[in-house]
Amino acid sequence: MMADSGPEEIAVIGNTDLTSAELENNIKNTMVEIEKWTSLLRKMEISVGEAEKRTGKNTVNMQEIYTVYLIETRPVDAVTEGIIPAPDSLWRRYSEFELLRNYLLVTYPFVVVAPLPEKRAEIVWHKLSADNMDPDFVERRRVGLENFLLRLASHPVLCNDKIFYIFLTEEKGWKEMVYETGFQAKADSRLKAMNAAFRVKNPDKRFTELKHYSDELQTVVSQLLRVRARVADRLYGVYKVHGNYGRVFSEWSAIEKEMGDGLQSAGHHMDAYAASVDDILEEEEHYADQLKEYLFYTEALRAVCRKHELTQFELEMAAQDLASKKQQKEELVTGTVRTFSLKGMTSKLFGQETAEQREAKLQVLEQQIEEGEEAVKEKNTESDEFVKTAWLDIEHFKDQKDRDLKEALISYAIMQISRCKKGIQMWTNAKECFNKM
Amino acid sequence: MSRTIDAVVSPTQTNTIPADISGQMLDLDEDDDLEVFSKDLTLADGNMFNASMPTSPGSMVNQCKFEEDEESDSKDIFITVDNPESHVTAIETFITYRVLTKTTRSEFDNSEYEVRRRYQDFLWLKGKLEDAHSTLIVHPLPEKFVVKGMVERFNGDFIETRRKALHKFLNRVADHPILSCSEDFKVFLSAQAWELTTYKKQGPGFLSRMGETVRAVANSVRGVKNRPEEFTAIQEYVEDFSNKIGSLDKVTQRIVKEQKEYLEELKEYGPTYTLWSGSEEELAEQLKGVAGCIERCCKETEEQVGHLSDTLVPVLHEYVLCAETLKAVLRRRDNIQAEFEAKNEALATKKVDRDAESSDLGFVWGSLLGKNPEEARHQRQERLDGEIEELKEEIDKLEDRVEWANNALKGDWGRWQRSMRGDLKSAFLSTAEKNVDYYEKCLAVWETFLLSQRTEPSEETDRDNTP
């Protein structure tokens, strides 16, 4: 049973078209402008160079081997008189990247924070090992980490973060600094978030849609990646079996007089054909990584949606609380009991309170109502702010996603074209050899 | 250009038997000579004799045209095998094939024949050809049953594969200078069903064929002692070839298998893009485009696999069977020589026997029977002399048989090698061409897609692409 209250006090935000299309567009353009000005990339080059193995003691004092990555930074305008100075560099391990990201997630809940590359190789096909120490995997992870940093550095909000800057520039003491921010305490508990998700009544429809979209995206891209891996596996098999032709042709050519030469050279082309698949599939792995990034992005999207639900829920709770206080006041004033309350019952049973008692109660309630109204106003603003900034970032993300994935699909087509051209060349060569038989 | 060659081969004459029948030309282009050796295949009834006798000269008076290269414009017989039909009787179900022959050869009464034959009939023909020309290389028939896999005999693919192989078999026989003159071959092509059945019943009976087999087994157990070097070389080659072609057969079948599995996965891949396009707005068209490309590549892949199965696989398989045929031919040649060697040894033993002093045992035996020792010895000498003469005659015949067999094989060997090279070269060529074609088609598919993406009004060029 919801009490009807004055329209202004409780501004529960439903789905409203907050801005007109033009206004939205203007904001978008402004964002791009801001990007240009504040993007960290304007100021410095960032790259993740090599990777190295280290040994050390972990938290339970056991020996472990881990990989560290070299982060190199250099100011963009550092090139003076044609001399490029050496970059500043420091080493970071994967867990530090994770820490950075968690910090950013908590500190900027309205931002769709770029995801990290896989900790472990998940969707693999047979040639690729799931071994974290595998050099190909480490290399792809290096690329992924660089991409992560670049994404952060070009984000209008995140690029200005101090912790991020120090992550890039100061090796020692960074961890302690992060913990000192106390961000962990600010993190919303999972339980709280889930509770809000269930009980929120009027979330912004756009966020609900976004949540659905991110679930869908996760499902379809996972499936696509799985099937792609299987296709890659099979393709690998087809190419490699042709290598057997190479061997047998070579052996056969030894016993033939007239056909010998043709067979021998055809055999070499078959070997080359079989070997060509390694590069082809390695390239495709980068395409898969591009898709994977967006697969992992869905988690970031969901995180923003959750935060919205939480703020919205808190607003609703505050409004509800205010409404019930006002209700109580009214009852006290008019003496009517509209809602069931223990007080009401006891007063019926044991007699009315004295006037002084009532007066005292009234004062308390009024105080609470005032505080409640403040709270609602605060929560309202908070929610408004959140929706505005979050949605801005989401639009930014959507554009980025469309651009990036379009490029990815084009590059996939280019890969296929390249593979076809290679195939044409190899089989044309083989054909010529067969002609000489 | 064809040359009419008069191959006069006769063990009793002193003409030298041409070493390579398929290529030589005897200089007999005076008209009168040609008259004498008319193309009269009624003499070629050599197929009806006891298989243990050497091929009589009569059957070899073949005025068949010896083409060095099988030019189709000088072909005078065209055979097709098609139209499989299934027949159901009370006892069995079987398939017959239509065998259509068009020919201008004079030994055929008509110029066109249409008969129906079943696999058994082909088997019969092959058997007869091999019996009559044990050291010629007869193209293999498709196998009785599919060795691996659970393909039913009446599966469409199986029937089609078999039909093609049977077609090839008959055409190879028709192309062979000696085999195509066989009476059995002619009957096979022209006789009606009941005529064929009657015809089949003639000829050496079961028992005489049994005898031949027993002898062959006996000889193969004994083994040949002085095999000429060239045949050992051929045998070694055949061993190696058999291994290589077997490997190629396996590799190709494996490729087909892998390709099919790739195709299966590919068929599921395209739809994942279509599924995704359902959740997108800006990207939807592009995703559907990629899905379309993948689907079209699927079709091309399917075609490519089909081509591989239809073109390369059967040819390799045929030559696996050929290798076995070659081994059998070499064995038969060895047996012929072994028989000859055995008889020679028997002769030597007999001579030793005869020249030996009267054995004491014989003397004793004779005296026990009340014979005059002198008379006994004389009788014995006479008997042995007679046997020796018989043996000598047999040996002469066998010697000719060996020489004939060797020459036949040598001649056919060159011929076989040429057609092997031709067949395999063209099969591999065709495969390579198809693969090029496959990649070209896929290339076109993706290039079209790429083109459609690049010519879109690029909103992207207006924006600064900061990632």
Rounded Cα distance, B321 and B146, in Å: 13
CA A137 and chain centroid, separation: 20
Task: Please tell me if residue B233 touches chain A, with a CB cutoff of 8 Å.
Answer: no
Q: How many Cβ pairs closer than 8 A exist between chain A and B?
A: 154
Apex CA B453: angle with CA B447 and CA B454, to 5°? Answer: 90
Q: Quote the pLDDT of residue A27.
A: 53
- Decide: B449 and A413 in contact? Cβ < 8 Å: yes
| Burial annotation B293-316 (CB, 10 A radius, 16+ → b, else e) | bbbbbbebbeebbebbbbbbbbbb
Residue length of chain A: 437
Facing residue for A431 by CB, picked from B244, B276, B436: B436
Which of these ranges, A358-367, A406-415, B52-61, B356-365, has the smallest mean pLDDT? Answer: B52-61
Facing residue for B432 by CB, picked from A231, A241, A431: A431
Facing residue for A434 by CB, picked from B282, B286, B429: B429
CA-CA-CA-CA dihedral for A349, A355, A360, A364, to nearest 10: 70
Say yes or no for a CB contact (<8 Å) between B429 and A412: no
Residues in CB range of A300: below 8 A, 6 or more apart? A105, A112, A113, A114, A115
Closest C-alpha to A249, from B309, B256, B424: B424
Task: Please tell me if residue A76 touches chain B, with a CB cutoff of 8 Å.
Answer: no
Interface predicted TM-score (ipTM) of this complex, two decimals:
0.82
DSSP E strand stretches across B203-315: none
| Cα-Cα-Cα-Cα dihedral sign, residues A178, A183, A189, A193 | negative
Rounded Cα distance, B114 and B82, in Å: 11
Rounded Cα distance, A271 and A265, in Å: 10
pLDDT over 60 (residue B199): yes
Say yes or no for a CB contact (<8 Å) between B265 and A231: yes
Greater confidence (A373 vs B74) lies with A373
Over residues B291-318, the pLDDT tens digits come to: 999 999 999 999 999 999 989 999 999 9
CB atoms under 10 Å from CB of A330, counted, come to 15
**Residue in A with minimal Cα distance to B445:** A417
Say yes or no for a CB contact (<8 Å) between B425 and A437: yes
User: Three-class SS of residue A326?
Assistant: helix
Closest C-alpha to A328, from A317, A342, A339: A339
- B-contacting residues in A 364-383 (Cβ below 8 Å): none
- A-contacting residues in B 270-289 (Cβ below 8 Å): 272-273, 275-276, 279, 282-283, 286-287, 289
| Cα-Cα-Cα-Cα dihedral sign, residues B242, B243, B247, B248 | negative
- Decide: A45 and A76 in contact? Cβ < 8 Å: yes
Say yes or no for a CB contact (<8 Å) between A413 and B247: no
Q: Quote the pLDDT of residue B362.
A: 59
Contacts of B275 in chain A (CB under 8 A): 220, 223-224
**Residue in B with minimal Cα distance to A425:** B436
Q: What percent of chain B has pLDDT over 90?
A: 34
Say yes or no for a CB contact (<8 Å) between B237 and A255: yes
Task: Measure in Å the smallest separation between the Cα of A396 and chain B Cα atoms.
Answer: 11
What are the angstrom distances between the C-alpha of B72 and each of A395, A410, B2, B68, B75?
73, 52, 11, 12, 5
Q: Quote the pLDDT of residue B62.
A: 38
Over residues B433-451, the pLDDT tens digits come to: 999 999 999 999 999 999 9
What are the angstrom distances between the C-alpha of B235 and each of B131, B304, B421?
21, 37, 18
**Residue in B with minimal Cα distance to A241:** B255
- HSE of A77, CA atoms in CB hemisphere, 13 A: 3
Contacts of B287 in chain A (CB under 8 A): 409
Greater confidence (A50 vs B69) lies with A50
Task: Please tell me if residue A25 touches chain B, with a CB cutoff of 8 Å.
Answer: no
pLDDT over 70 (residue B216): no
pLDDT classification of B209: cutoffs 50, 70, 90:
low
Q: What is the DSSP string of A117-171?
A: PPSS--S--TTS---TT-HHHHHHHHHHHHHHHHHHHTSTTGGG-HHHHHHHH--
User: A105: part of which helix (H) or strand (E)?
Assistant: helix A94-107
Over residues B1-41, the pLDDT tens digits come to: 444 444 443 444 444 444 444 333 444 343 333 333 333 33
Residue length of chain B: 467
Q: Quote the pLDDT of residue B16.
A: 44
- One-letter amino acid at A49 equals G
Q: Quote the pLDDT of residue B57.
A: 42
Over residues B373-414, the pLDDT tens digits come to: 777 778 888 888 888 888 888 888 888 988 988 998 999 999
pLDDT over 70 (residue B117): yes
Q: Quote the pLDDT of residue B386.
A: 85
Task: Measure in Å the smallest separation between the Cα of B455 and chain A Cα atoms.
Answer: 12
Task: Please tell me if residue B241 touches chain A, with a CB cutoff of 8 Å.
Answer: yes
CB atoms under 10 Å from CB of B368, counted, come to 8
Q: Quote the pLDDT of residue A57.
A: 73
Which of these ranges, A394-403, B167-176, B228-237, B347-356, has the smallest mean pLDDT? Answer: B347-356
Over residues B218-231, the pLDDT tens digits come to: 655 667 788 888 88
- Decide: B160 and B135 in contact? Cβ < 8 Å: no
Task: Measure in Å the smallest separation between the Cα of B382 and chain A Cα atoms.
Answer: 55
At A16, give phi and psi (nearest 5°): -125, 150
Contacts of A264 in chain B (CB under 8 A): none
Residues of chain A with pLDDT under 70: 1-44, 50, 58, 77-83, 121-133, 336-353
- Decide: B8 and B62 in contact? Cβ < 8 Å: no
Facing residue for B265 by CB, picked from A41, A227, A266: A227
Rounded Cα distance, B190 and B183, in Å: 11
Say yes or no for a CB contact (<8 Å) between A234 and B464: no
What are the angstrom distances between the C-alpha of B31 and each of A5, A21, B28, B36, B107?
128, 104, 8, 9, 21
- Decide: B418 and B23 in contact? Cβ < 8 Å: no
Over residues A271-287, the pLDDT tens digits come to: 999 999 999 999 999 99
Residues in CB range of B61: below 8 A, 6 or more apart? B7, B8, B37, B40, B43, B44
Closest C-alpha to B50, from B127, B121, B132, B136: B132
pLDDT classification of B73: cutoffs 50, 70, 90:
low
Q: Quote the pLDDT of residue A206.
A: 93
- Decide: A121 and A128 in contact? Cβ < 8 Å: yes
pLDDT over 80 (residue B205): no
